[in-house]
Structures are given as C-alpha cells and as structure tokens.
Chain A
C-alpha cells in the first residue's frame, strides 16, 4: 500500500500535479510541480517530505507583488522547457525583463534561488 501510495505519488508528480502560488497583492498562479522544482526554495517548500504547511496544500504564499511572481513563474517555465536543449535553440529571456522590475525581481530571484 505504501508502495502504491508512493507509486501514485510519483505518477501524480509527473504532469498533473499543480502548485499554487499566491502573491501578496492577491494574484494566484498555478504552475506544475515540475516547473516549481526549478526553484530551490519552492522545491523545499512544497516537497512531500517537508513539514511545511505548504506541502500539504501545495500552496505557497509569496511575499512579492503579482508582477514579480508572474515573471518568476515565467522564468521557471522557460528554464524547465529549455534546460535540456542545446544552446543554439534557447531563446533569449533578457528581452522579456522590463527594467522597472529588475531590482525587485533580482531580490526575489535571489531569495527563491531561481
């Protein structure tokens, strides 16, 4: 049974497992667990083995503005998508960063180890 549970848990992490991120100004973002794993901090927060409350509900509250969280999720998806492809095919993410949010995003990125 435990093996089944473990198996069920492992299959559920593959594609259908979603993590909810809530920004401090009330925006909610849903990202796949796989994507969230690209962030070291998030990974720890929603990891099944951890004791954090977030792990049970798969929900994280992020102490940042919605724009920041959105950009963060965007980056995590980008990274997840291209992390295994050869360098020539990776598009540039720099252009998608607006200078106005650069500093805040920098702080968030550092915190979430993105």
Chain B
C-alpha cells in the first residue's frame, strides 16, 4: 500500500540532525548516552580542542575516538601523513598523545621561523634606516674647500686663459664658451709665446670667432699659437682666425700659413707674424670679421676691456 520511497531524494531526519549538530558542535555540552555511530559524523568535523572537551564530558566515547585522532593527526601535519605512508610498525597506542606531540613539534618549528623572520626584518630595517634622512642639530663635517695652508693668490688672467685653453682642447665638458659678438677690434696685451710641454697641445688661446662659420676646434690637435694682432678698428678688419679647419674665403694663403702653424711647427715661428699681419689686416674683405674678437676674453670677468671700444694694441 505504501508507495516506494524514492531513494536519496529527501534526506533522512537522522542525516539532517547530524548536519545541524555538526554546524553547532561547539555548543554541544555532551554526547554521553548517545550511540557512537550516531555521533561519529558530528565528531569527524570538529576541531581537536572540541574533541578533547567532548571526551572529557562524555567519557563513554573515549574508547572509540582513536580513529578520530588519527584523522586529526594526518590532517594537521603533512609530515605525519608522509611518515605513516611508509610506517610499517604497530600503530601508536594512543593517537591522541601522538597528536599532541605533533602539535608541540609544529609549535616549535613555528617559533623558530618566527624568530628568524624577525631578525631578517630587523636587519632590513636597520639597513633602511641608515639611508634615511635624519634630523640633527650638529653640522656635518666641513668639506675641505681648499687644501689647508695653501696660499691663495688670485689667478692671473694669464693663468686663467691658459687653463681654459687646455680645458677646451681636451674637450672637457662644460667649458664655457661664450660666442663672442663681433666687437670691434680689441687688442689684448701681448701674450708671450708659451710652449708648455703638455702632451700634444700647446697652451694657446683658441679664438672663437663670433658667429663665424667655423666651430671651435676643441677637439682637434691643432696648435694654435697666441700672437698679438694689431687689428684695425673696422668691422671688416682682422684676419681670419688661426684655425686650420676654418673655412674663410678670400684670405691670402700666406697669411694662413703664417697664422696656422702646422702641428710640428714650433711656436717661435709665429713671432714673425707681425709683418704679415698688417698685410692681412688690409687685405681682408669687408665682411664681418671674426678675428675682430680674437682676443676677447671668454669671460666677462676676465675682461680688461676699458669702457671705450677703441682699445688697440699698444
């Protein structure tokens, strides 16, 4: 008369109750008096602490909980699981004790790792602090601005120009080069020939014609000798600069030869320049003459230019 119960469609009340109890297993005070097979599914899902507590309040389940403790051991400790796979001997008497021993080992390892991590962290922090900006009242140790005890003498114009020329020739980055306007003639005081044994370069002023087509040959090994030039006070006066790679039209070649000393030529040869120089001055075409500023110092600071522009060589 009774129709067949469809299998597995509706969960049994037993199963439902077990599920509810598992969800609230921490609220269970005791399971004593209940059949173990009813309670087992509930205990399978509980933690070690709960299991221990329930064992205390329900002593009758204690004999049966070995399997439960074994399950806990294997679940919480990977190592125990690996060991048990290869373990051939008799099972431990009390899985419960085994479990707590394992817990102790785990706790120890954990502590070790913690302390190691702490030291590593601390070291990293210390390293970081060293590079941080610190506030302090004290002055930092003063840098040596100048070697102590060295007598200070202002560098003469000569010294300054000399060092500048050297720097330019060596191509030191940042050597200030101010393009000089084509100021009218200005004769620098006679600069004696200086030949300093400095590698391949001779000290000289490398004139920078203002706005000329020629880039200053900083990097060439050209030897430019310093000569005094009597430059006429005309925009067109002056001879082309003494640069080898300068392209200047309509300049008598002879002048070049005199001015642009070939590298092997010694500076004293330039002493003969005064003669052709005057020639040069006259034959220059009327154009903006870069050499007008041949002796204009690069820096205003070094300039000894009098207020009038008619400075000529003495």
Q: Within the assembled complex, what's the spacing in Å between the Cα atoms of A38 and B10?
A: 12
A102-B24, A103-B31 are contacts. A109–B14 as well, Cβ < 8 Å? Answer: yes
Question: For B14, what are the chain A residues with a Cβ–Cβ distance below 8 Å?
Answer: 106, 109-110, 114
- Flag if B24 contacts A106 (CB, 8 Å): no
- Flag if B21 contacts A99 (CB, 8 Å): yes
Q: Within the assembled complex, what's the spacing in Å between the Cα atoms of A97 and B19?
A: 10
- Is B157 located at the chain interface by the 8 A CB criterion? no
The one of B2, B10, B23, B38 in contact with A79, judged by C-beta atoms closer than 8 angstroms, is B10
Among B9, B18, B27, B31, chain A packs the most CB atoms within 10 A around the CB of B9
Chain B: interface residue total (CB-CB under 8 A): 25
Q: Within the assembled complex, what's the spacing in Å between the Cα atoms of A82 and B38?
A: 26
The one of B11, B21, B35 in contact with A102, judged by C-beta atoms closer than 8 angstroms, is B21
Main secondary structure, interface of A, reads helix
- Contact string against B for A residues 55-81, beta-carbon threshold 8 Å, 1 for contact and 0 otherwise: 000000000000000001001001100
The one of A78, A84, A97, A110 in contact with B20, judged by C-beta atoms closer than 8 angstroms, is A97
- Flag if A109 contacts B17 (CB, 8 Å): yes
- Flag if B34 contacts A97 (CB, 8 Å): no
- Is A20 located at the chain interface by the 8 A CB criterion? no
- Is A13 located at the chain interface by the 8 A CB criterion? yes
- Contact string against B for A residues 1-23, beta-carbon threshold 8 Å, 1 for contact and 0 otherwise: 00000000010010000000000
Q: Within the assembled complex, what's the spacing in Å between the Cα atoms of A60 and B248?
A: 132
- Flag if B2 contacts A84 (CB, 8 Å): no
- Flag if B16 contacts A97 (CB, 8 Å): yes
Q: Within the assembled complex, what's the spacing in Å between the Cα atoms of A82 and B3?
A: 13
| Nearest CB in chain A to that of B5: its residue | A83
- Flag if A83 contacts B9 (CB, 8 Å): yes
Question: For A75, what are the chain B residues with a Cβ–Cβ distance below 8 Å?
Answer: 13, 16
- Flag if B34 contacts A107 (CB, 8 Å): yes
Question: For A82, what are the chain B residues with a Cβ–Cβ distance below 8 Å?
Answer: 9-10
A83-B5, A90-B10 are contacts. A106–B38 as well, Cβ < 8 Å? Answer: yes
Question: For B11, what are the chain A residues with a Cβ–Cβ distance below 8 Å?
Answer: 93
Q: Within the assembled complex, what's the spacing in Å between the Cα atoms of A37 and B3?
A: 10
- Contact string against B for A residues 26-43, beta-carbon threshold 8 Å, 1 for contact and 0 otherwise: 000000000001100001
Known: A102-B20, A110-B38. 10 other contacts (CB 8 A): A83-B5, A83-B9, A90-B9, A93-B10, A94-B20, A97-B16, A99-B21, A99-B27, A106-B18, A110-B35
**A-B CB proximity, top 7 nearest:** A109-B13, A106-B17, A114-B13, A99-B24, A102-B20, A102-B21, A109-B14
